[in-house]
Chain A
Amino acid sequence: MDLSLLNSPVMYIFFMIRAYRAGKAIGMDVSKMRRTIISSATFTVLPSVGILLGVIALSGSLGTPLPWLRLSVIGALHYETQVAEGAAEAIGLSGLHLSEMTPEAFTTIALIMSFCIMWGMILSIILTKTYLKKLKKKPKNIENEESANVEGEVKAEPKKNGGFGNLAMTAMFVGLVSAYIGSYVGGFVSTGGLFTFKGSWLSIAVATIAALVMALFIWLSEKKKATWVESFSIAGSMIVAMGLSILLNTIVG
């Protein structure tokens, strides 16, 4: 029984077609839906290569099929790597080393990797309907005052055009990004001892370069009216920053 069969393209195509048809039925602009598909596809290619590298990285100790399955079904590289390592240690291995792997260790690692990640899926089964209903009720009172236009022509600046529900989501994302950027700063300043500045500055440099390239993309899109670059802005910023990280790493030695 192969999990990748269930996690097969059929399910996604089914959900895609349903969404597309429903969008058309409620009068959404077809070109917008097409743009969504194109921008999501281009956006995904680069991180997918990163995931593929995760499969390759883990295949050294767990073989190819398990990392492939795990990273296709609610997987995430940082999770898999950490849990597989922790599981291997709990079984009594010195770490994720192929030389120490036994069939029992392998299946136990597989079970732990599968079990520890399932909560989001369980919650989505039992809670999603109720949770979304409750959320919908809350912001409505605030948003009704401003959402005369719900046809998607609203710009993505919630501060100007949306109610607090939209702004709260933007703020949540601001907080999330802040946590990660903060962790890069903390890693550089205090890894190996408080204020030793011995940590890697590469993460900060890469994030800064990606931000600068993103600024360039936004400038091109807004000032030069090259709106097509929007679909490539994040992936483009990432690839430039990742490419330059090779150069920076050489300089750092």
Chain B
Amino acid sequence: MTDIEKNQVFEKYNKGTHVYGKIAAGITLLLLLSAPFVMGLHLGAMPSLPAFGKAFIAVGIIWFASSIVEYLVYTPMLGAGGTYLAFITGNLINMKIPCAVNARDTVGTKTGTPENEIISTLSIATSSLVTIVVLALGVILLIPLQPILQSPVLQPAFDNVVPALFGAMAYKYFRGNMKIAAIPLVTMSILFIFVPSLISSTSFMIMPAGAMAIGIAYFFYKKGKAN
């Protein structure tokens, strides 16, 4: 297959991905927003709109900004198919992104290539399927499992699932990139030490930390090219 033919096949696939992705996301969005009202009909109590407004101002705006940041940052990592699926299924930072990046690294594809687009979609679709199966099985087994899973002995393990993930990812990404990682790591640590209230908005700090790391990477990239 020539490169031109390959491109044609991929472009056709990509076009379809956008169409199917938009349809899937659109229907999901509609159902997502109608579910609380359907529950309201069933329960005979519609959501309170004044309370909704109040809560949106208190907590919603933060997530609005965070969603925009997440979208802008993660879309290039995920590609088209991965983006539609990941923004339908969620759990991006703790699962989908590391999963897609891990898959990309395992098979060795490069960001922005057709191969990466395929790998990313396969990875996120698989991940979503496995999550659905685990959740469904878990919910079915919920009653007998509950005492074991909620036993205080196991709680520290599950409370620390996110640090465990970032520890593993830290080694993987800092290794060989310490020149890039040193300044953002030190800066973020100092910032959180002096402004501990920011800890609850760590997702907001991803952007400046990422921008800093990209800036440093660009500096070394230019320097490397100059040499």
Contact = CB atoms under 8 A, between A and B. Distances in A.
Interface string B117-136: 11101111111111111110
A33 B162 CA distance: 27
Nearest to A189: B193
A4 to B, nearest CB: 8
A87 to B, nearest CB: 4
A86 B171 contact: no
A234 B169 contact: yes
A141 to B, nearest CB: 12
Interface string A60-91: 00001010110111111111001100110111
B125 to A, nearest CB: 4
Given A7-B132, A47-B161, A191-B199, 8 more contacts: A47-B91, A56-B149, A83-B59, A125-B25, A173-B173, A174-B174, A181-B185, A207-B166
Contact of B173 (A25, A90, A124, A177): A177
Contact of A108 (B13, B47, B103, B188): B47
Most chain B beta-carbon contacts within 10 A, residue among A6, A208, A230: A6
B63 A173 contact: no
Interface string B178-219: 001100110111111111101100100110111111101110
Contacts, number: 581
A173 B102 CA distance: 12
Contacts of A18: 13, 16-17, 20, 81, 121
A24 B129 CA distance: 21
A37 B122 contact: yes
Most chain B beta-carbon contacts within 10 A, residue among A37, A68, A121, A147: A121
Contacts of A132: 75-76, 79-80, 83
A71 to B, nearest CB: 7
6 contacts: A40-B124, A40-B130, A139-B112, A167-B217, A202-B163, A208-B167
Contact of A76 (B48, B92, B180): B92
A79 B94 CA distance: 12
Contacts of B46: 104, 107
A136 to B, nearest CB: 6
B85 A178 contact: no
A211 to B, nearest CB: 4
Interface residues of B, number: 163
A99 interface: no
Contacts of B59: 82-83, 86-87, 90, 112, 116
Given A53-B158, A234-B98, A128 B75 contact: yes
A33 B89 CA distance: 21
B50 to A, nearest CB: 9
Interface string A174-200: 111111111111110111001100010
A183 B118 CA distance: 34
A49 B160 CA distance: 13
Interface string A148-183: 001111111111011011111111111111111111
Contact of B168 (A11, A151, A234): A234
B1 interface: yes
Contacts of B150: 56
Interface in B73-124: 73, 75-77, 79-81, 83-85, 87-95, 98-115, 117-119, 121-124
Interface in A201-224: 202-204, 206-215, 218
Interface in A94-135: 102-108, 110-112, 114-125, 127-129, 131-132, 135
B165 to A, nearest CB: 6
Contacts of A32: 107, 119
Nearest to A127: B71
B159 to A, nearest CB: 8
Given A74-B90, A175-B212, A176-B210, A214 B167 contact: yes
A58 interface: no
A238 B122 contact: no
Most chain B beta-carbon contacts within 10 A, residue among A49, A117, A175, A183: A175
Given A183-B199, A214-B167, A91 B48 contact: yes
